[in-house]
Amino acid sequence: MKPSQRMHGLVQHINAVAQQLGLDMLTVKKEYIFRTWVTISAPLTYAVFGVYWGFLEARRHWLEGIKSSIMLGGLVSGSAKLLTILLRHTPIRDLLHFFIKICEDYEQRGVDFIHALNFGIDRVYKIQRIIFVGYSITFLIMLLMPLVLLFYKGIRITVMPYEIPGLSIDSNIGYGLTYLQHTIPEVVGGIGFYLGDMLVLLALNQIQTFADIFQLKATALNDALERKEHSRYVCNVGEYKDFNIQALLMDLINWHQLFVDYCELVEKIYDNLIAAQVFAASVSIVICLCVNLNEFDLISAIFFLVSAYSMSVYCIVGTQIEFAYDQVYQTVSCLSWHELSCEQRKLYIMMLQRAQNMKIIVLLGITPLSLGTALQASELDFCLGNLLAKNNI
């Protein structure tokens, strides 16, 4: 399959997932259908019932209040994803069409560009499989474990860490209605988490693909500059060969400008979502650690894995983006600039300056999105969770 066909299939897959939630990403005009309102109601119902139940539990004991708020981080990150999709529907749709157009244009430029595009799409598919399997397993366990415990041991636990006022889980009808109500935000949340992650990670991974395309263009320019250098040893005096250097240089500069503008656009669209995802996951890890260090709680243990896994994926991709920035800078630095003319060198210096000052993705203006941030956050989370557990809140 051509890269454009593979990218089109990937975009259609993301849009099919979005349509399950009533969020068509490729439509020109947003439409609020019944499934859209169900999706919007999911975080609202959790916020209302969860906060109310957490307040009641906190009056009995602080630890119970903390236990009932283990999914508060999921509420924050899920709400951030939903708001981003609803409020920034048009730029996200334009990005998806832009990915397909880039593949259609550059798959016609030779085998090297096709390989770079396919390699980038393969990266996205690998991440897609990882997050799909991860979310499917964890959310299925959270949905099925209460039923398993009920049928085999007669223990009644809820899917979400709250109970609905007026419905007692000690009665069969109350427990059944509570389970059904919990299933709706659980399923919507699982699909929404997957959709939001796919949109963000697809956009972030294109930065690496664009860096690979930049390197191919730079290699073509460097080859022309080397031919120009070698031609001086065999040409007659006064003979001049252009080797199409000006066109290659302008093509490289234009692509670098597109690369810089794209990085800034992605950060502008998804900055709040990424920050909410990482910080909410970090808070959830602290709460889940605190609860499980006091006493084992199955739901919080599972959600701990979801939060740690989600934060790690984002921070690993952030580190890969930093490598892509370094790749672009190294590529620009290694050009045979001494073979350029004076006017061409001025253009080259401008491109070098921009490559030296690439704007990295920063979480709320505090810390960069990288694996180092994930390690620091994990260390801080463990210390806080351990401290709160030892002092029993």
List the chain pLDDT tens, one digit each, 393 residues: 789 999 999 999 999 999 999 888 888 888 888 888 989 988 888 888 877 777 777 677 766 767 777 777 788 888 889 899 999 999 999 999 999 999 999 989 889 999 999 999 999 999 889 888 888 888 888 888 888 888 888 888 888 877 787 778 888 888 888 888 888 888 888 899 899 989 998 998 999 999 999 999 988 888 888 887 777 666 655 455 566 788 888 888 999 899 989 988 988 888 888 888 888 888 888 887 777 777 777 777 777 777 877 788 888 888 888 888 888 888 888 888 787 788 888 888 888 888 888 777 777 667 777 767 667 666 666 666 566 555 554
DSSP 8-state secondary structure symbol assigned to residue 269: H
Of 43, 270, 46, which is closest to residue 161 (Cα–Cα)?
Answer: 46
pTM, whole model, 2 decimals? 0.87
Total domains present in the chain? 1
Of 312, 367, 266, 275, which is closest to residue 77 (Cα–Cα)?
Answer: 275
Q: At what angle do helices 298-333 and 342-356 cross, to 10 degrees?
A: 160
Domain that holds residue 146: 3-233+241-391
Please state, in angstroms and as integers, the Cα–Cα distance from residue 124 to each residue in 5, 118, 190, 201, 207, following that order: 14, 10, 19, 7, 12
* C-alpha span between 51 and 232 (Å, rounded): 77
